[in-house]
Structure 1
Amino acid sequence: MRDSIKVILFCFLLVIPFLTLACSQIKDYPTDLEQLSEDERLVIRFSHVVGEDTPKGMAARKFAELIKERSNGRIEIQVFSNGTLYKDVEELDALLRGDIQLIAPAISKLTDLVPELSVYDLPYAFNSLEEVHEFTESEAGNRLKDLLKMHNLIALSLWDSGFKQISNDIRPIEHYQDLKGIRMRIMQSDILAQQYYIVDAFPRKIDFNTVFQSLKKGDIEGQENTLTNITSKNFYSLQKYLTISNHGYLGYFLLFNLDFWESLSDEDRELITETLHEVQEWQWQLAEDLNDRRLQEIEECQCIQIYYLSEEEKKEWEEHFTPVYHYYTQHYGDYYIQNLPKYKYVK
């Protein structure tokens, strides 16, 4: 009996060195995200204020999934949608403080920091989304993005929401004169305010996530937004009239805190940049498709009266809004306006 115990102990002692050697050969980074320590993971908190079923919400999820997959779980994009982490008016300050690392605000919301960006808000500044993309990647567009770096921000991508439409609860908007006297919700942009002053409406700068309640209480009577945002927040259920005007562009810059971005390794920056470029192409098509689908759904529900501006009427509106362009030129010069594609190719 004693001899058997000795044999077992001797065999166990022989096995221990082999177990130690095998354990020492485990890879530095396990592929399971849950096994990584805080020091081994790169966590990027991404806050945005729209719904998950919007083009921005869906692109945010796709970006997070691709980064997780391509980094084998080492990089985690934590997405907080619908303003659950920071509200519309809070997220930019949180990014600048470094409390979060990534946001995707509407360009209009950046005009307090870089007023020249309000060229994107000019009525009928762009005839198509392709013109928006062209301008953003042009010398003028890159100069605008460089101005953000002065505020410790870097724009790495542009995501579309689409062109804005007008809804209200007072009367059909078939002519710009029909906007007179209506309290309209707008984003934080002086150019957007000027747009409605021109037609004797009353613009109100209101946080996106409180628009529904403001409409419900009667604090405002109308609003402008893309169809995906109008439907995701159910604005149209509180409105009687919708005008398909395509009068202004709404898009988002993907903004990183510049200090955080520069702290990343070259490999991580390359991975994120390449992935964002891929997601951007996918998101542009998604935004176009979803806006078309949402319009069809609103048409079929017959729950709101719709008016479609003709091309001739759009030209009339554009001409009436010329003083807004003069306002921009007086305050910020004409360089960015002159480089809009619609003027660039005029012979």
Structure 2
Amino acid sequence: MKSLLTCLSLMVLGIGTALFIGFHDRFSTEEPYYDDEQEGLKDQIVFKFSHVVAENTPKGRAANKFADLVYQKSGGTIKVEVFPNGSLYSDNEEINALQNGDVQFIAPSTSKLGSLSPEWGVLDLPYAFTNYKAVQEGLNGKIGTRLFASLEKHHLKGLAYWTNGFKQLTSNKGPIFTPDDLKGQALRIMPSSVIEDQYRLLGAHPRQDSFNSTFQLLESNLVDGEENTISNIYSKKFYNVQDYLTISNHGYLGYAVMTDEHFWNSQTEKTRTILTEAMRETTEWNEASAEKMNKDQLEEIKKNSSIHIHVLSKAEKNTWMKRLDPIYGQYEQVIGRGLVQDLLSLRREP
């Protein structure tokens, strides 16, 4: 009886060992087993796109559209993961992240690029563009070409210009009708010496800080106001912590979509073609939709808040332009006479 039990135990052990070896051999070959869905994931390339604004803004929507187009055009083999609201990097960190290879695409505001070349300050000059037509003419022409060329020494590649719109003024310290109304006011601005000097010229106290710090600065009364496009004022709900809004259109806010030159050159021709076509289509869509988005969101602000809104008249705007014109002379040598003159020629167009 004892010997019979021993034999049965050995048989069970032998069968178990054989089953284990067969199972292990199936899943331990040099070519692992994948089903069709797993094979697709194995072949997919993933790129990261970091930006600092909300998704329901011109830049946020454009980034998502670009990702969708890349996925469609590549048949799902290329995926662009979009990280909005500074969730991956702040606007002060994203250029370094791009150069270090931690992300593959960013779209900083053009004001941030003054740290790379003073020529970018041309887009921060007051009343640089008088309408959206002038914006596209400038950025798709000599001005835009020259600015992208300035990135090459940093091994960065400019892919496209995306438009947000024109900047307006908000404040908690009384309505803003004339330049003198800004005297003594503390305002959050983007990092830009050109912008800073504009407000110092008007007697204000500009404070350079990151975009995602703006709401807290306003809410805690560390600043009296700020300048921004309607889409940013709306998406970040600045109108909830500000009493006055002036539609001044005094400055332009746009973005330079960029990638790292080494990353770009390391891609296959097919991948670069897909990315280029998707970027071109996205940019055309952005140019057509940004103006409407700002108009629609201004109407939403009117409906959903008690903020007091003043629209500068033509005569009032001319007063602002004359007061700020000395900035052009101050920065002509810094930015470059050619760029400044190209911009002024656009301003003179009807």
Residue 142 of structure 1 pairs with residue 145 of structure 2: yes
Q: Percent identity?
A: 43
- C-alpha distance in 2, partners of 1:191/1:345? 21
Where does residue 52 of structure 1 map in the other structure? 55
Residue 35 of structure 1 pairs with residue 39 of structure 2: yes
- C-alpha distance in 2, partners of 1:153/1:62? 23
Q: What letter corresponds to residue 244 of structure 1 in structure 2? A: I
CA contact (8 A) 1:172 1:241 kept: yes
Residue 287 of structure 1 pairs with residue 285 of structure 2: no
**Cα distance change on mapping 1:83 and 1:343 into 2, 3 Å:** closer
- C-alpha distance in 2, partners of 1:268/1:302? 46
Question: Of the candidates 112, 115, 122, which is equivalent to residue 115 of structure 2?
Answer: 112
Residue 180 of structure 1 pairs with residue 183 of structure 2: yes
Where does residue 281 of structure 2 map in the other structure? 278
- C-alpha distance in 1, partners of 2:347/2:215? 39
Where does residue 252 of structure 1 map in the other structure? 255
CA contact (8 A) 1:164 1:247 kept: yes
CA contact (8 A) 2:134 2:346 kept: no
Alpha-carbon offset, residue 276 of structure 1? 0.8
- CA-to-partner distance for each residue in 1:212-249, whole Å, 9 max, x for gaps? 11111111110000011001111110000000000000
Residue 300 of structure 1 pairs with residue 303 of structure 2: yes
CA contact (8 A) 1:135 1:341 kept: no
Question: Of the candidates 317, 320, 339, which is equivalent to residue 320 of structure 2?
Answer: 317
- C-alpha distance in 1, partners of 2:295/2:39? 43
- C-alpha distance in 2, partners of 1:217/1:240? 14
Residue 235 of structure 1 pairs with residue 238 of structure 2: yes
Where does residue 124 of structure 1 map in the other structure? 127
Question: Of the candidates 51, 69, 72, which is equivalent to residue 69 of structure 1?
Answer: 72
Q: What letter corresponds to residue 87 of structure 2 in structure 1? A: T
Residue 199 of structure 1 pairs with residue 194 of structure 2: no
- C-alpha distance in 2, partners of 1:310/1:262? 50
Q: What letter corresponds to residue 105 of structure 1 in structure 2? A: P
Residue 92 of structure 1 pairs with residue 95 of structure 2: yes
Aligned residue-pair number? 316
- C-alpha distance in 2, partners of 1:139/1:295? 32
- C-alpha distance in 1, partners of 2:164/2:251? 11
CA contact (8 A) 1:125 1:342 kept: no
CA contact (8 A) 2:49 2:83 kept: yes
- C-alpha distance in 1, partners of 2:273/2:73? 12
Q: With structure 2 as the length reference, what TM-score do the two structures score?
A: 0.87
Alpha-carbon offset, residue 300 of structure 1? 2.5
Q: What letter corresponds to residue 237 of structure 1 in structure 2? A: N
Where does residue 81 of structure 2 map in the other structure? 78
**SS in structure 2 at match of 1:164:** strand
Find the structure with the greater CA-based Rg: 2
Question: Of the candidates 157, 160, 166, which is equivalent to residue 157 of structure 1?
Answer: 160
Q: With structure 1 as the length reference, what TM-score do the two structures score?
A: 0.87
CA contact (8 A) 2:55 2:84 kept: yes
For structure 1, list consecutive stretches of 5 or more residues without a partner in the other structure.
1-29
- CA-to-partner distance for each residue in 1:166-196, whole Å, 9 max, x for gaps? 0010010000110000001100110000110
CA contact (8 A) 1:127 1:342 kept: no
- C-alpha distance in 2, partners of 1:140/1:307? 32
**SS in structure 2 at match of 1:181:** coil
- C-alpha distance in 1, partners of 2:237/2:39? 41
RMSD value, Cα: 1.8
